[in-house]
C-alpha cells in the first residue's frame, strides 16, 4: 500500500484495503457464511411445519423425510463451517502477514533518528504482538457482521409474518442492546490500547534485560532487573484487569438483556395463547427464531471484543506507518556512478530534533583518495560529521557534495553503496561467518569471501575453527573475540569495495597486539580510497594525509601530524597527554 494512503485514509478504509489482494477467497468465505445463516433460519420453519402439519395429521412419512432433510442440511452446514473456519482464518493470516511485511519495509526506510527515539522492544511489539489479534479480527469481523445482519433481519421478518406482536418485542429490546454495545466499545477500546502499550513496555524491558544479561551478572544486579521487570509486569496486570472489567460489564449486561428478551417472548406469547390469538406451535417456532436471533447478538458481542483488541493493535500499526521518513530520495534523484571520492562540506549546520546544535557552519574539503583523520574531545561532533555523509541524518543548513554533486540529488541506495563503514561496536548477525562476510555483497561466491577474509587477515583464524566459514557466530557475534569480529567487519567492506571509507574508532577497544594486526588490514583497506578516520588513539593516525581537530566550537586546526605538533594548540596538547599517559602506564 502506498505511503500517501496511510496519510489520507481512515483506519477503517486502510483495514478494508488489505482484503483487496485476497478478495476471491474472502468472497467464498462470505458466501459460505451466508449459507450457514440460511440453514439457521430454515430450521425453525421446518420445525414449525413438522409440529403443525405432519405430527397432528399423522403424516409420519413426511415427518421422517423432514428429519432426513434436517440432517442433510446440518451436514452441509458442517462443511460450510469447516470452510469458513479454515479459509477464513487463512485470509486473516494472509492479511496479518501483508501488514507485517508493509511495516517491516517501512521500518527499513525510517532514519537513524527514529531508532534513536524508540526502544527495540517497543518496535518489536508493533511488528509481532500488536498485529496478532488482527488475524482474528480480519477473519471474524466481516464474517460476524455479515452473518449477524443476515440472521437478525431474516429472523425479525419471519417472526413478523408469524406473529407481528412478537416482532414488536424484539423491536423494543434491540435499541437497548445497540446502545449498550456502542458505549461499551468505547471503554474497551481505550482499555485495550493501554494493554498494548503495557505489553510493549514489557517487551522493551525484556529485550533490554536479555541483551544486558552479562552486565547484570557482572554487577550482581539480577535482583534489580527482576524488580524492574516485576514493576512492568504489575502495570501490565493492572491494565489487563481494567480491560477485563470493561469486558465483563459488557458481557454480563448484554447477557441480562438477552435473557430478558427470552422472558418477554414467553410472557407475550403466553398472553396471546390465553387470548386464543396464538398457537403453541407458533410460540415454539418464535422461540426458535429468538434463539436464532440471539446467536448473532452473541456473535456481535464477540466481535466487539475482537474489534477492540484488533483495532487497538491496528491503530498502533497505522501510527508507525504514518511516520514519514525525513530522509528519502527526492524526485528526479540520479544514481551515483564512477565515484572518485572528492568530498566537500559547505557551511554545514546540524542539530538533533532541531534542538542543540552539534555542528555549526562547518567547511571541509577532502580530495579524492586521501585519508582525513578527525580528532578531538568526545561530543565534538566527529561521528555526527561522518554520519551526515551517507545521509543517516539530514543536515539543517548548507550542503555536502561528492565529486561536486549534492548528496541530496542522488539516490540513497547508490550513495550508501559507495560508502563503507567500520565501527568500534561491530554488529554481526546470528548466522555463520560466511553469511556475515557475504553481507557486504550478497551475490558474492565462496572464493570471493575467502579473498576478502585473507585481505582482512581473518582467514587463518577461520580455518582453525571446527566448522570453518560455516561456524555460527552467536547472538551479535558473542562466540568470537573482539578482534575477530572487527576483522570480519573489515572483510565485509573489502567485499563491498566502496570508493569512500569511514573508520569510526575501529581499533579503540582492542589490545595493542590485535590493534596492530587490524591496523595493517585497515591500511590495506584504505589504499586508493577516500577515507575518513575517527580516532582517539592519536598514534594510529600520524600517517594520515590531513588531521582535522574538531570540538563543540567547530574545526579548530587542520594539517599533518608534524605541522600540528609544530603549531601547538589542542592537537599537541591531546597528543602529548596521551603519550605521557602511555609512557607512565608502561
Could you tell me if 411 and 358 are in contact, meaning their C-beta atoms sit under 8 angstroms apart?
Answer: no
pLDDT of residue 137: 79
Taking every pair of Cα atoms in the chain, the longest distance, rounded to a whole number of angstroms, is 122
pTM of the entire structure?
Answer: 0.68
CA angle, residues 280, 68, 36, in degrees to nearest 5:
80
pLDDT of residue 447: 92
Alpha helix ranges (H) inside 410-477? 412-417, 433-438, 446-455, 459-464
Classify residue 488 by burial, with Cβ atoms within 10 Å: 0-12, 13-18, 19+: buried
pLDDT of residue 586: 45
Return the SS3 of 373: strand
Domain boundaries, the chain: 3-321, 340-418+501-507+533-586, 422-497
pLDDT of residue 514: 65
Could you tell me if 366 and 530 are in contact, meaning their C-beta atoms sit under 8 angstroms apart?
Answer: yes
**Architecture of the 340-418+501-507+533-586 domain:** 3-Layer(aba) Sandwich (3.40)
Residue 347 has a CB neighbour count (10 Å cut-off) of: 12
Domain 3-321 has CATH 1.10.540.10: no
pLDDT of residue 367: 92
Assigned CATH for 422-497 = 3.40.50.300
CA angle, residues 574, 576, 578, in degrees to nearest 5:
70
Say how far apart CA 501 and CA 528 lie, in whole Å: 10
- 500-504 and 530-534: which strand pairing? parallel
Helix (H) or strand (E) holding 348: strand 343-351
Sheet holding 405-406, edge to edge: 357-366, 343-351, 397-402, 405-406
Say how far apart CA 5 and CA 13 lie, in whole Å: 9
Helix axes 23-49, 129-162, angle to 10 degrees: 30
Run means of pLDDT, 10 residues per run, the chain, 586 residues:
71 84 88 83 73 71 81 87 83 84 83 75 72 75 76 72 70 70 66 70 66 59 74 74 74 72 73 74 68 69 73 81 82 88 91 76 91 84 88 89 92 89 80 88 90 87 89 81 84 88 71 69 82 80 86 84 84 76 50
Say how far apart CA 376 and CA 535 lie, in whole Å: 9
C-alpha cell at 108: 527499513
pLDDT of residue 220: 63
Amino acid at each position: 500500500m502506498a505511503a500517501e494512503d496511510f496519510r489520507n485514509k481512515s483506519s477503517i478504509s486502510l483495514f478494508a484495503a488489505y482484503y483487496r489482494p485476497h478478495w476471491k477467497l474472502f468472497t467464498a468465505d462470505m458466501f459460505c457464511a451466508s449459507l450457514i445463516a440460511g440453514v439457521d433460519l430454515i430450521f425453525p420453519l421446518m420445525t414449525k411445519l413438522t409440529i403443525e402439519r405432519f405430527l397432528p395429521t399423522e403424516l409420519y412419512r413426511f415427518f421422517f423425510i423432514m428429519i432426513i432433510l434436517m440432517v442433510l442440511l446440518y451436514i452441509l452446514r458442517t462443511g460450510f463451517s469447516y470452510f469458513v473456519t479454515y479459509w477464513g482464518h487463512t485470509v486473516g493470516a494472509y492479511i496479518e502477514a501483508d501488514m507485517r511485511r508493509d511495516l517491516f519495509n517501512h521500518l527499513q526506510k525510517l532514519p537513524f533518528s527514529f531508532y534513536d527515539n524508540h526502544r527495540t522492544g517497543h518496535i518489536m511489539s508493533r511488528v509481532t504482538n500488536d498485529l496478532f489479534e488482527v488475524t482474528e479480527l480480519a477473519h471474524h469481523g466481516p464474517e460476524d457482521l455479515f452473518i449477524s445482519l443476515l440472521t437478525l433481519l431474516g429472523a425479525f421478518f419471519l417472526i413478523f409474518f408469524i406473529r407481528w406482536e412478537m416482532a414488536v418485542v424484539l423491536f423494543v429490546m434491540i435499541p437497548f442492546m445497540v446502545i449498550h454495545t456502542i458505549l461499551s466499545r468505547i471503554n474497551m477500546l481505550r482499555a485495550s490500547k493501554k494493554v498494548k502499550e503495557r505489553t510493549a513496555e514489557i517487551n522493551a524491558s525484556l529485550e533490554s534485560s536479555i541483551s544486558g544479561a552479562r552486565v547484570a551478572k557482572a554487577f550482581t544486579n539480577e535482583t534489580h532487573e527482576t524488580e524492574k521487570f516485576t514493576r512492568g509486569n504489575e502495570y501490565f496486570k493492572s491494565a489487563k484487569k481494567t480491560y477485563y472489567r470493561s469486558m465483563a460489564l459488557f458481557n454480563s449486561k448484554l447477557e441480562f438483556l438477552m435473557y430478558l428478551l427470552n422472558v418477554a417472548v414467553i410472557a407475550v406469547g403466553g398472553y396471546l395463547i390465553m387470548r386464543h390469538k396464538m398457537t403453541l406451535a407458533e410460540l415454539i417456532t418464535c422461540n426458535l427464531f429468538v434463539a436464532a436471533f440471539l446467536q448473532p447478538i452473541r456473535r456481535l458481542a464477540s466481535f466487539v471484543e475482537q474489534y477492540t483488541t484488533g483495532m487497538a493493535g491496528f491503530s498502533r500499526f497505522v501510527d508507525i506507518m504514518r511516520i514519514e521518513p525525513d530522509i528519502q530520495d527526492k524526485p528526479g534523484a540520479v544514481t551515483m556512478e564512477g565515484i572518485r571520492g572528492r568530498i566537500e562540506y559547505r557551511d554545514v549546520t546540524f542539530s538533533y530534533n532541531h534542538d542543540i546544535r552539534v555542528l555549526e557552519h562547518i567547511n571541509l574539503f577532502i580530495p579524492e583518495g586521501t585519508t582525513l583523520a578527525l580528532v578531538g574531545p568526545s561530543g565534538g561532533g566527529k561521528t555526527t560529521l561522518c554520519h551526515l555523509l551517507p545521509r543517516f541524518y539530514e543536515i539543517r543548513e548548507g550542503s555536502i557534495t561528492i565529486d561536486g554533486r549534492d548528496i541530496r540529488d542522488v539516490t540513497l541506495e547508490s550513495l550508501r553503496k559507495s560508502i563503507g563503514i567500520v565501527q568500534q561496536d561491530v554488529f554481526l548477525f546470528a548466522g555463520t561467518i560466511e553469511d556475515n562476510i557475504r553481507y557486504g555483497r550478497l551475490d558474492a561466491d565462496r572464493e570471493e569471501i575467502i579473498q576478502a577474509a585473507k585481505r582482512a587477515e581473518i582467514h587463518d583464524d577461520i580455518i582453525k575453527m571446527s566448522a570453518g566459514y560455516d561456524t555460527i557466530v552467536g547472538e551479535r557475534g558473542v562466540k568470537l573475540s573482539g578482534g575477530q569480529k572487527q576483522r570480519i567487519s573489515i572483510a565485509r567492506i573489502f567485499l563491498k569495495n566502496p570508493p569512500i571509507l569511514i573508520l569510526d574508532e575501529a581499533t579503540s577497544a582492542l589490545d595493542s597486539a590485535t590493534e596492530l594486526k587490524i591496523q595493517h588490514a585497515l591500511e590495506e583497506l584504505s589504499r586508493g580510497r577516500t577515507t575518513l578516520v575517527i580516532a582517539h588513539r592519536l598514534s594510529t593516525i600520524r600517517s594520515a594525509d590531513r588531521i582535522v581537530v574538531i570540538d563543540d566550537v567547530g574545526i579548530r586546526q587542520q594539517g599533518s601530524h608534524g605541522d600540528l605538533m609544530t603549531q601547538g594548540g589542542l592537537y599537541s596538547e591531546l597528543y602529548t597527554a596521551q603519550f605521557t599517559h602511555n609512557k607512565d602506564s608502561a
